[in-house]
Structure 1
């Protein structure tokens, strides 16, 4: 009887911890990279800008309308042109600078070779994870076939099988789900052509709130 009571006690204590780690979802504002439905240039190239703008809105608590998001993305593109000489397709280090240099938000870093557990742990702490990816490997049915060569999105949650994201590449991207395996396999930092996008390193941007 004593051992049975000990077992029940341990089960009761451990269960809340176990259950809490099975899922998490952060309230991150969403915008598509084309907030007004115009997917021509420059909006077609604004996945990084949209991901940074959404993340900045979340960590600062600033509320952006669709128009506000559009203006923020255009401002980020101007910053990129002035800083890098281009605004199309930035790697993780350049994308990070949009947050740390342009927005002056220092609590962000690049993590190489992240594990699923690391990403889950960061989300559980209330932090965001921006992931660069080989767009075609994501196999998102809402992308214009065959999908972008490179893409960037924000991980804001997880459950037992999926990562839950804000994917700016579609108007249906708010709370979109990718299997954990799919997202980890698609993770590749941007590398310019002619290199294959799948040669890009495995890396994410972690943003502390």
Structure 2
């Protein structure tokens, strides 16, 4: 939410926010692990933060992501982290993970992300097809099997 407010956030403040959201989800829904795209929109953005300038979209293209970024939005995607091949993850990487896509570099054909899954995730770049192929929504809950692959993206506008 710091991006929406136009403020910076420290790692400690981010940790506190994550813990507060986890407490809220557990108190209200009985679970706080591996939140699906739909539940991230409804439970976290709309219920917890009371934020409405958000859209959930399924079954989109690489160009759709680029267009949303070009329009000034952030894009959050659920991922199969093992398909990202990030060398900074504890291998083989997480099956369920969320990435914040903050930009696109047309020269290198890379998406620029802020990846909360690693200390070296700020402005981490993924080749566009690697990132796109790894997008995979999942069910809310701990260690549930991955459902059939379906792409989802959360579009956050200011």
What is the TM-score of this pair, normalised by structure 1? 0.69
- Structure 1 portions without partners, runs of 5+: 1-55
Is the contact between residue 132 and residue 203 of structure 1 (CA under 8 Å) also seen in structure 2? yes
Q: Which residue of 2 aligns with 1:115?
A: 61
Structure 2 partner of 1:72 = 17
Offset of residue 146 of structure 1? 0.7
Partner residue in 2 for 1:170: 118
Q: 5+ residue gaps in structure 2?
A: none
Q: Deviations over 1:36-80 (max 9, x none)?
A: xxxxxxxxxxxxxxxxxxxx1101213322222111111100111
The one of 27, 30, 33 aligned to 1:85: 30
- 2:2 match: 57
* Cα shift at 1:92: 0.4
Number of equivalences: 153
The within-5 A match list for 1:93-112 is 93-97=38-42, 98-112=44-58
Task: Report the Cα distance in structure 2 between the residues aligned to 1:171 and 1:80, rounded to whole angstroms.
Answer: 25
For residues 95-143 of structure 1, what are the alpha-carbon distances to aligned partners after superposition, in whole Å with 9 as ceiling and x for unaligned?
1120111111100010101211111111111100001011101110000
Separation in 2 of the partners of 1:207 and 1:184? 18
What TM-score does the superposition give when structure 2 sets the normalisation length?
A: 0.91
Cα RMSD (Å) of the superposition? 1.4
Larger helix fraction of residues: 1
Which aligned segments of 4 or more residues in structure 1 are displaced greater than 4 angstroms? none
* Structure with the greater alpha carbon radius of gyration: 1
